[in-house]
Amino acid sequence: MAAQPTPFKTPELTPQERLFTLLGTLLGLLLAALDQTIVATAGPAIQRDLSIEPSLYVWITTAYLVTSTVFVPIYGKLSDLYGRKPVLFAAISIFLLGSLLCGLAQSAVQLILFRALQGLGSAGLFTTAFAIIADIFPPAVRGRYTGLFGAVFGLSSVVGPLVGGFLTDNISWHWVFFVNLPVGAVALAFIVLRMPLLRLSRRRPVIDYLGAAWLLVFTVPLLLALSLGKTQLSPGETGYLWGSWQILGMFALALAGLAGFLLTERRVKEPILPLSLFANRTFAVGNAASFVLGAGFLAAIVFLPLFMVIVVGLSATNSGLTVTPLTFGIVFGNVISGQLVSRFGRYKPLMLAGIVLLTAAFTIMGFTLTPDSSQAEVTLKMILMGLGLGPAIPLYTLAIQNAVPPQMTGVASSSALFFRSMGSTIGVAVLGSIFANTFSAELTHASRPPPPTSPPLCARSCSSRATRRGARPGRSSPSAPRRSRPRSPGASRSRNAP
């Protein structure tokens, strides 16, 4: 079990140190948040320029997704042990190195490997950013800045595609990655020159290498299986059917990794994720809620544009604009919820209100979305959904952080992000299978030829009368050919006799 944390004193920061630490952390978080959306716009140009096969194209995203999720808990624990400053510095440096190499990539394999390196750095940016907020601000005002950090995610989903499209069309897709370098350099300058160490634990660092290895065995096969599993597999498409031995084997390996991770974390002195924290109701419920909300958030962004294109018939551009109201709702909900928590000191009523609003939005969507739905109608519903999702990122992270000792703030922040990311991946995989099955069934039903229709009443009556007349002895139907009566052999010979 985890050792009991020792008391500590929160480091005193000057206003200048606090300001530059906040700016450097915000810039680092912006780098990682933008990279999730800015690269997608340049995808077709990258595929064309590097002659990437369709079977390899999906790995450009999958490699980033896997590493940026897997290493989140590890970064959280390292920041608790060694301090936020060295971990954040290392994460930004790794991310910038990956960005540089991605921009210089000359083949699909190189780009995939360098994207994985980028994801390794972004995992530390996400985790450390929210932990730093808990370090430099007291709980009374923490919600205000946590909401500000949450708004960065929403803004990046709007700004990222625009910046990516502009750079790709006017300069080159390489600059989709090179643009990170100057922003990252400014962030590193703030961190090196003005940011304090922010190491709250005074214990000698002990790294749980075995737990980290089991965590990789658990999460990597699980994420790969969820990303590559397909309900139907088209020719040339990357992936495997859900019932194939490849997917089942990865699930089995993930299950073995989970068992090994749980057994290891119960015995080591400094576990990556102390299981004793789940005895805390706030910590357990907060992470479970983050998991569910992560699935709902990404599912709305992924599948609503598909509905608008396939069912409603909008263009790809207009369907993408449908998500913009959701983003604005999330940003507004992030900022307002953080301000209200800082003002009144209570976050539970806002969390419940957000859940109720989100449930109502999904219910309205489920019962009112039809092929006749207009873009204006969907826009209003997306705003409502965004207002419900808005408090999810800052408030649940804030609740989980406040539920643990300050020495475990990094672990708490990383657990919230990890469960949210896992929820997003699992939610998209499950809902994607449902979407594919439903769409395939409806398409098959629509393409099936209609059953033969019965003839009109007059036709049936006329046909029946004709049949009855033809059945009488000695008479035949007018339309039926006349048949000669068979003759006996004797009668035939007598007629032909001389």
DSSP-assigned states of every residue in 114-149 = HHHHHHHHHHHHHHHHHHHHHHHS-HHHHHHHHHHH
pLDDT at 458 > cutoff 70: no
Place 292 in a pLDDT band, splitting at 50, 70 and 90: confident
Strand partners, 240: 229
pLDDT of residue 438: 63
Q: Confidence class of residue 461 from pLDDT cuts 50, 70 and 90?
A: very low
Q: Is the pLDDT of residue 379 over 50?
A: yes
More confident residue, 306 or 64: 64
Residue predicted with more confidence, 467 or 315: 315
Q: Give the per-residue pLDDT at 117.
A: 92
Task: List the single range of 24-33, 159-168, 294-303 with lowest mean pLDDT.
Answer: 294-303
DSSP codes of every residue in 366-435 = HHH--TT--HHHHHHHHHHHHHHHTTHHHHHHHHHHHTS-GGGHHHHHHHHHHHHHHHHHHHHHHHHHHH
How much is the pLDDT for 11? 58
Record the pTM: 0.73
Q: Residue 255 — pLDDT band, cuts 50, 70, 90?
A: very high
Q: Among 23-27, 154-158, 406-410, which is the least confidently predicted range? A: 154-158
Question: Does the structure show a pLDDT above 50 at 365?
Answer: yes
Most distant CA atoms of the chain, gap in Å: 141
pLDDT at 60 over 90: no
Q: Residue 317: what pLDDT?
A: 56
Mean pLDDT taken over the chain: 76
Q: How many residues belong to the chain?
A: 498
What's the pLDDT at 417? 84
pLDDT number for residue 97 = 93
Residue 408 confidence (pLDDT): 82
Instruction: Give the mean model confidence (pLDDT) for residues 6-21.
Output: 66
Dist CA 414 CA 146 (whole Å):
14
Buried (b) or exposed (e) across 162-177, using 16+ Cβ within 10 A?
A: ebbbebbeeeebbbbb
